[in-house]
Structure formats: C-alpha cells, structure tokens
Amino acid sequence: MNLFRSTFTVGGMTMVSRVLGFGRDILVANFLGTGLVADAWVVAFRFPNLFRRIFAEGAFNSAFIPLYSKRLEGEGPAAAKSFAEEAQAGLGSVLIVFTLIMLALMPWAMLFLAPGFLFSEAEAFSFSEAVAKVMHGDTPEKYDLTVLFTRITLPYLFFVSIVALLSGILNSLGRFMVAAAAPVLLNIILILALLGFGVLDLFPTAGHALVWGVFLAGAAQMAALVWGCRRIGVMPSIHLPLWTPRVRRLVVLGVPGIIAAGITQINLLIGTMIATFQDQAASILYYADRIYQLPLGIIGVAMGVVLLPELSRRLRAGDEGGALESQNRAIELSMLLTIPAAVALMIIPLPIIVTLFERGEFLRADAIGVANALLAFSAGLPAFVLIKVFQPGFFAREDTATPMWFAGAQTIVNVTLSLILFRQIGFVGIAIATSVGAWVNAILLGWRLHALDIYRPDARLLSRGLRILAASAGMGFALWAGRLWLGGTVDGAFWVQIAGLAALVGGGGLIYGALALLTKAASLSDVIDVSTHRRDDG
C-alpha cells in the first residue's frame, strides 16, 4: 500500500465532506446565527459528534484494526470475520443499552453537558439550585430545547459506531474509499434539511430540521457501509453478544484507545460545557472549530486512518525499519500541509469568517468573536495533527494505555487553563487552553516514542522540517501584506469578499508551493508519486 496515495484517497473524500460541511455551516449561520436555538443545536450536535469523531475517525479502530489484522494475517479471513462478528455484537448491545438509558436521563445528563443553560449570565451558578430546577421542571427554554434536540440526535451514536467497525474492516483490507465517503452523506442530508426548512413549513425552527437530519444521516451512513462490506463478502453476521477472550482483549485495548484518540473531541466538549456560561459562546466556538477542523480532518485524521493499518502490517511482518520510515514520511507530509494551513488561519481569520458566515442572523460582532477563537485554535493545529500521527505508533503495538495517560495530562492542562482564562478573557481562553493542551500531548507522545527507541526523526525529516518552516514563514509574510492591501474587501459586497478571500488563499497557496519547491521542502517526485499510482480501492 502506498502511504501517500492512500492518505490522499482518504483526505480527498474528507475534503469533499468538509467543503460540504462549510456549505452546511453557511446555511446554519444564515438561519440560526449565534442565538438561543444555535446554542441548543451546538450542544445537541456536539454530543453525538463527539462519538462520531471518536469512532469514525479512528479511535475505536486503534484497538480493532491491529486485532483484526492479526486474525486476518495469522488465521485467515474466516477467523477475522468471526472476530468482527463478536466485536459487532458486543459493541451494538452496549450502545443500545447506553442510548436507552441516556434517552431517559437526558434532563439530568444536560446538567453536565450544558450547566450554564440553567442560569442567566447575571446569576451565580449553584449546583444544588441547578438540581432543584431540574427536579421541579423549572428549566429555561434553552435548556429544554437542548434536551429535546439531544434526544433526537442520540441514536446517531449507535449508527456511527457500527459504521466505525465496518470501516475498520474495509481499512484493514486497504479499501478506504467507501468508509471515507460515508461522512459526505451527513453533510448532504443536513444541507437538504436546511434547504427544505427554507422552502417547506415542516419544522418550528431550523434547529429541529437539523437534528432530524442527523438521525436520518446516521441510518444512511450505516446502510452505505453495510453495502460496502456485503459487496466484497466481509459483512459480519448478527449474533448475540458473548464475552470471549477476543472481545475481552478488544475492550482492554479499546477503552484506553478511545480515551486517548478521542481526547481532542472530549476537550472540545468540555470547552462547550464551560462556554455555556456565556451567551453565544458555545455557537461561536462551534463555528471556529468547524474552520480549523478542515485541515485537521483532511491531513491529521486521514493520516491516522491510513497509518495505523500500514504500521500494523509492517510490524506483523517484523519490518521495524519500514515502520519507522512510514512514520517519518507521515510526519513529513503532515507538516508540509499543516504548518502553512495554521499560519494562514492565524493571519487571515477575519476575511475567512466574514466571507463564509456573515449574512442573515450572523453579524459582524459574531464574525470578530469567531475569528479570535479561530486564531487561538489554529496555533494548536500542528499539535493536533502530530497527535494523530504519533498515536498509531503505540496503537499498532497494542499499547493504548500510554497515549491514554498522555491524553489525561492534556485534559488536565486544558480544563485548568480553560477555567482560569475563561474568567479573564471569556471564550477565547477556552480556545487557547485547547491548543496548549494539544501541544502538551504531542510533545509527550513524541518524547515517549523516542525514549522507547521505536521512533527517531531521520535526516530527511529534520532537513525538510526546517525548510517547511521557512517556506511557511515566507507565505505568512505575503499573506500579512496581502491582508493589508485587500483589507477593504471584508466590508464590500459578497462577491467582493469572495474575490478578496480567493486572492489571499490562492496567492498564499501559490507562494507557498513555489517556496516549498525552491527550498526543497517538497519535491516534484512526491507529487508525481501520488498522482501516477492507482488507488488501492477496488
């Protein structure tokens, strides 16, 4: 399997999904802005989306893929399929029970998901008073709406978890296309739901249309993966759950792996919880998160999805040298794309936000708030991507505990700083704390891999890394000058805003590409290698 080619397969489909996601969020901003319904939608979507990103973007598979690959390589397809059936039965039954419990207890669960929605900004938070409000049904409209929205989206957890398992099967076989394309369905269905709301009078608010869209999208994604697995004869049959040694091993590896690989999303959920104590803060952080998630999804998540089965196969074959080479090239490619993206997002956040979102219910004050949060999030973007690249080095060796402990350190840093900075500078402090926590995790992961002598940067990575920094700095200076020259376009008509942003993004991309080739941060042979090989998918 060609690492670059497979990464671009996954990254390409992720880019399609994220571009459609931008279209969705433009409509969300237009219909909802940053008001009451928007805050309720953000919290309701954050909870199932947390599980979507944890499961669908590789955390569950951090345990499943190495064990499935071991059965496939050592015992054959029949043994691998049997293991997948046991995993599916166990995962599905746990999630059905969990979903039913959460549906019943959602008014109480919301005490922890969105405690700030129970009080106005002028009121001091009291946990005992919050409990009393819920017990007596004396809850504000925003709180009640969030409970309703979250109940509707909750079954998405079951759908997306089965999608993750079936994706792991296909990814282990080197077939990435169907699994990578599944998230596209989510954004298509949500866009249709919003457009339908604008034309038809079927729902009280756009938020109601969105949450029912999430429910339908989950069912559609699961159907797509079932089709993909049936097409090549690897669809697991349905069985009653059994506590077998293989399932026990999956749980032992899976729980720490889910915590470790999903910690970024858990931290975002914690940030949203804290943000509920400031009006509009939850939705502002949501829009900023959506922007910087584009490069993270295209680069970091795609690299993590492809790298784990690649390392697992090489290590099963005893090819330690090949595994080290794969990890170095993964970091090189990731930084080649991530560092300039982070620089660009930190230098031109306002033109991006204004052009994408400022219309309808979304005002200039909202755009400025989102731009400030985006700048702070973007400072941590390289760290978020490095986490995705470093963690497979542990997961492929069936070590999910070490990344879990480092993820715990990230959470402690994030929560502590969030609470301190939120009191001082509001929601921007949450974004700063999220980035600082990510750097702590990335540094700890890299240090431990090096200390165990299972990873060391080679001369090519060190050399190209310095050149990537130089090329990114040159591009950053050009963007800064371009922003000053085109600054008036953010106050122009919509097409003027688009032209100004296109000039900045396109010009910055061309300048970075030229500098990368000039400094030899990248070579034409890398591009040719990606473009001239066939996809792995059949």
Domain edges within the chain? 16-457, 459-538
In order of 81, 238, 320, 443, the CA distances from 290 in angstroms are: 36, 36, 37, 25
Does 527 or 490 have the greater pLDDT score? 490
Does 36 or 151 have the greater pLDDT score? 151
Q: Where are the beta strands (DSSP E) in 419-488?
A: none
Q: At what angle do helices 206-231 and 3-32 cross, to 10 degrees?
A: 160
Neighbours of 237 (CB within 10 A): 10
The predicted pLDDT at position 160 comes to 84
For the cut 90, the answer to whether the pLDDT of residue 318 exceeds it is no
Portion of the chain with pLDDT greater than 70, in percent: 85
The predicted pLDDT at position 260 comes to 62
Q: Quick check: 318 and 405 in contact, CB under 8 A?
A: no
CA distance 356 to 13: 21
The predicted pLDDT at position 537 comes to 41
Cβ partners under 8 Å of residue 122, min gap 6: none
CA distance 288 to 285: 5
pLDDT band at 346 (very low <50, low <70, confident <90, very high): very high
Quick: pLDDT tens for 380-419.
999 988 988 888 888 778 787 888 889 889 989 999 999 9
Side chain identity at 36, as an amino acid letter?
L
CA distance 311 to 323: 5
Q: What are phi and psi of 455, to 5 degrees?
A: -150, 135
Closest to 288 measured CA to CA, from 275, 305, 277:
275
CA 364 to chain centre: 27
Q: Quick check: 278 and 114 in contact, CB under 8 A?
A: no
Does 306 or 204 have the greater pLDDT score? 204
Angle at 189 between CA 384 and CA 39, to 5 degrees: 60
pLDDT band at 477 (very low <50, low <70, confident <90, very high): very high
Q: What is the mean pLDDT of residues 101-116?
A: 86
The predicted pLDDT at position 4 comes to 56
CA distance 314 to 243: 30
Residue 123 gets which letter from DSSP? S
For the cut 70, the answer to whether the pLDDT of residue 340 exceeds it is yes
The predicted pLDDT at position 481 comes to 92
Does 57 or 160 have the greater pLDDT score? 160
User: H or E stretch including 430?
Assistant: helix 427-451
Residue 491 gets which letter from DSSP? G
* CB hemisphere CA count around 209 (13 angstroms): 23
In order of 120, 208, 265, 316, 386, the CA distances from 110 in angstroms are: 16, 18, 18, 45, 33
Q: What is the mean pLDDT of residues 488-512?
A: 85
CA distance 9 to 7: 5
CA distance 158 to 149: 17
Out of 52-66, 326-340, 458-472, pick the least confident: 52-66
Q: What is the mean pLDDT of residues 81-86?
A: 83
3-class DSSP assignment, residue 173: coil
User: Cα-Cα-Cα-Cα dihedral of 47, 51, 57, 62, to 10°?
Assistant: 140
For the cut 70, the answer to whether the pLDDT of residue 52 exceeds it is no
Out of 90-94, 175-179, 235-239, pick the least confident: 175-179
Q: Quick check: 139 and 118 in contact, CB under 8 A?
A: yes
User: H or E stretch including 336?
Assistant: helix 320-347
CA distance 47 to 69: 31
- Tally the residues of the chain: 538
Q: Quick check: 527 and 482 in contact, CB under 8 A?
A: no
Q: Quick check: 61 and 169 in contact, CB under 8 A?
A: no
Average pLDDT, the chain: 82
Quick: pLDDT tens for 143-188.
899 999 999 998 988 888 888 888 878 877 777 777 777 878 888 9
pTM above 0.85, yes or no: no
Q: What is the DSSP string of 57-113?
A: TTTTHHHHHHHHHHHHHHT-HHHHHHHHHHHHHHHHHHHHHHHHHHHHHHHHHHHHH
The predicted pLDDT at position 313 comes to 73
For the cut 50, the answer to whether the pLDDT of residue 478 exceeds it is yes
Give the tokens for residue 473. 């700095």
pLDDT band at 532 (very low <50, low <70, confident <90, very high): very low
In order of 344, 385, 404, 459, the CA distances from 380 in angstroms are: 13, 9, 19, 25
Residue 300 gets which letter from DSSP? I
Quick: pLDDT tens for 266-317.
777 788 788 888 888 888 888 898 888 777 766 766 666 667 677 777 777 7
The predicted pLDDT at position 382 comes to 93
- Rg of the chain taking only CA atoms, in angstroms: 23
Give the tokens for residue 537. 């998918």
Helical spans, DSSP H, in 200-319: 206-231, 245-261, 263-275, 281-295, 302-316
User: Cα-Cα-Cα-Cα dihedral of 344, 350, 351, 353, to 10°?
Assistant: 100
Cβ partners under 8 Å of residue 210, min gap 6: 28, 41, 45, 190, 193, 194
Q: Quick check: 293 and 300 in contact, CB under 8 A?
A: no
φ/ψ bin of 319: left (φ > 0), alpha (ψ from -120 to 50), beta (otherwise): beta
For the cut 60, the answer to whether the pLDDT of residue 538 exceeds it is no
CA distance 1 to 181: 19
